Amino acid sequence: MRQFLKQALATLIGSFAGLVLFSIVGTGSLFLLFVIIGTRDQQPQVESDSVLVFDLSKSIQDTQPPLNITQALFAPEERPVTVQQVVNSIEKASEDDRISGILLDGTEGSNTTDYAILQEIREALVEFQESGKEVIAYDTNLNQREYYLASVADNVILNPLGNLEIRGLRSEQTFFAGAFEQYGIGIDTVRVGDYKSAIEPLIREDLSPENEEQLTALLGDIWGEWLEDVSTQRDISVDELQNIVDTQGILLAENALEAGLVDEVAYRDEVISQLKEISETEDDDDFPNISLASYSGVTQREAMEDTSDNEIAVLHAQGAIVGGEAPLDSIGSSRYAQKIRNLRENDDVKAVVLRINSPGGGATASDVILRELKLTQEEKPVIVSMGDTAASGAYWVSLGGDKIFAQPTTVTGSIGVFGILPNIQELANENGITWDEVATGELAGLDSISRAKSEEELAILQGTVDQIYDRFIDRVADNRDLSPEEVEEIAQGRVWSGKQAQEVGLVDELGGLNSALAQAAETAELEDWQVQEYPRLSGFEERFLRRFQEDARVLLGQETPIDERLKRFQNSWEEFKVMNDPNHAYARLPFEFHID
């Protein structure tokens, strides 16, 4: 007994000492972290005749993802930047006497930004050139996304051992029907729209003729924009470009130079010499420069000094549309309905621009958000700016705008509805699992995954989907000045490019977020205004502490790199898990939709 008490006392004292030590170390560590944070808040300075360095490898998104502790403390430059930060920085740089030119630097890695966002940035670079300042692009290995931007440059330079890769676009879909059959997973589906392809990966082993038709047209439009823009800037015919794509695909530096796709073959030190001439510096080692990410912080601080009583609110909506609050990387109907109400009731907000980038989601959630936008529309202008994707449920939401803006390469439309009803009856039975039930109604098991649906149950669910599709048609007809018959002709779940969507009446104007802002100011009759983006990010310390536990786990056990395809599967599964429409009716694109 005495020995037991000794051990127990020793354990208690040791635990207490460990707790005290952990508290001291933990508090000291947090103090150190916040000291580092404080030093990060110091704004960089812009030297005279600086070159603005745009790292083409940086991820560019509509909104910044939740803060990552590693990036915040040790690598803030690695954080993604938003398209508006990039566009605004380029626009400010054209008027900033401290900026002598722009370097498009692709040497740090590959670009994976969506084409509609690249199109907005490209337009900003073209306008920058009109200021008379020079744009230089340099890379070792240019992919076609990077080259889409680089082709704007006054001088496109490629490393002597580098290459230019332009192979055209492709969209590959993974199909699971065979795997489901092999493992005994049943899938019942209901849908409206011959082109509504979201359910195809679950029930087919290849593309349907309708899906192949719409994807061919969509990729053709996006690729056509790429060809036209590059052709105009590089003074090479579209036919010549397409021939290079079809017969060469990957061009070594000298071949790219000979084809007129680049202007010069040179090493980095030779490029730096050119940049020194632009910045008129005599420094032997380097030239005055500032990264676009840092310059964005400078311009934001300076913009705060120019205030106006008139505010145009830009409400960013990115991710799948789901009911309720939903995760931060989704568009939760309750959360966004409240945000829209707050903007409607804010007298300082004179107009609202909804910037939406979403594949769609729940029909009910989409209609909840649309209702709040329509109520807001009665009190102040609402303009919609579509990002890379604003299809199906996202198009449903977009109907709340006085005008809809899209880029020619935006993916939109997909006016259709579907429902997915999985069951594991065969899988369970083969492993000795069975079910039995009692019920007070014939339809009590409508939500059950223990068996396939009966014909009567499928008929009821199909009827629900049909009614919701009819409401979707009516919403489009009422808000787009089209008859239901005209909408039906362009609906059926078919996706359209922004260019096609304007032609068939689903979109009003082609243009990016700045075009939408200009329209909002004009509609609200504002002579001066300031832009405020929503959702507003909370203070750094609050976000830091909110994510500390999650990020500490990552720091203690670093994750290994995940193959891109596995990431897509994981993202698709995460989106599938939050499908929560009360009617099991969804208006969205396929879970794995990507253009390479």
Question: What φ, ψ does residue 435 adopt, rounded to 5°?
Answer: -130, 155
Least Cα distance to 403 among 511, 312, 487, 565 occurs for 511
Which parts of 78-175 are beta strand (E)?
A: 81-82, 99-105, 134-142, 155-165
Q: Considering Cα of 181, then 187, then 193, then 198, what sign does the dihedral take?
A: negative
Q: What is the token pair recorded at 462?
A: 């199909």
Q: Cα(179)–Cα(360) distance, rounded to whole angstroms? A: 26
Biggest CA pair distance of the chain: 94
Is residue 16 a contact partner of residue 66, using CB atoms and an 8 Å limit?
no
Provide, for the chain, the percentages of residues in helix, strand and coil under a 3-state DSSP scheme, each rounded to the nearest 5: 45, 20, 35
How many C-beta atoms surround the C-beta of residue 354 within 10 A? 28
Q: Are 363 and 472 spatial neighbours (Cβ–Cβ below 8 Å)?
A: yes
CA geometry: angle at 334 spanning 328 and 339, to 5°? Answer: 75
3-state secondary structure of 128: helix
| Annotation says 151 is catalytic | no
Q: Which of the residues 196, 276, 453, 499 is marked catalytic? A: 196
Q: Tokens for 65, please give them.
A: 């993802």
40: number of Cβ within 10 Å: 12
Q: Do the beta carbons of residue 217 and residue 409 sit within 8 Å?
A: no
State the catalytic residue, choosing from 151, 294, 296, 392.
392
392 in catalytic set: yes
Report the 3 state secondary structure along 59-72. Answer: CEECCCCCCCHHHH
Size of the chain in residues: 596
Burial class of residue 399, CB neighbours in 10 A (0-12, 13-18, 19+)? buried
Cα–Cα dist 142/51, whole Å:
21
> Of 295, 352, 296, which Cα lies nearest the Cα of 64?
296
- Residue identified by tokens 């029907």 is 177
Helices of type H across 161-208: 177-183, 200-203
Q: Following CA atoms 54, 58, 63, 68 in sequence, which dihedral angle do they give, to the nearest 10 degrees?
A: -130
Here the tokens at position 405 are: 């803006």
3 state DSSP class of 424: coil
> Integer distance in angstroms from the first to the last C-alpha of the chain?
71
Tokens of 170: 């492709």
**Do the Cβ atoms of 344 and 375 come closer than 8 Å?**
yes
Which has the closest alpha carbon to 57: 1, 118, 113, 95?
Answer: 113
Instruction: Give the position of tokens 């199906």.
Output: 392
Residue 569, Ramachandran bin (φ over 0: left; ψ between -120 and 50: alpha; else beta): alpha
Q: How far are the Cα atoms of 21, 272, 286 from residue 136, in angstroms, in the given order?
A: 55, 11, 16
Contact 321, 82 (CB under 8 A): no
Catalytic residues: 196, 392
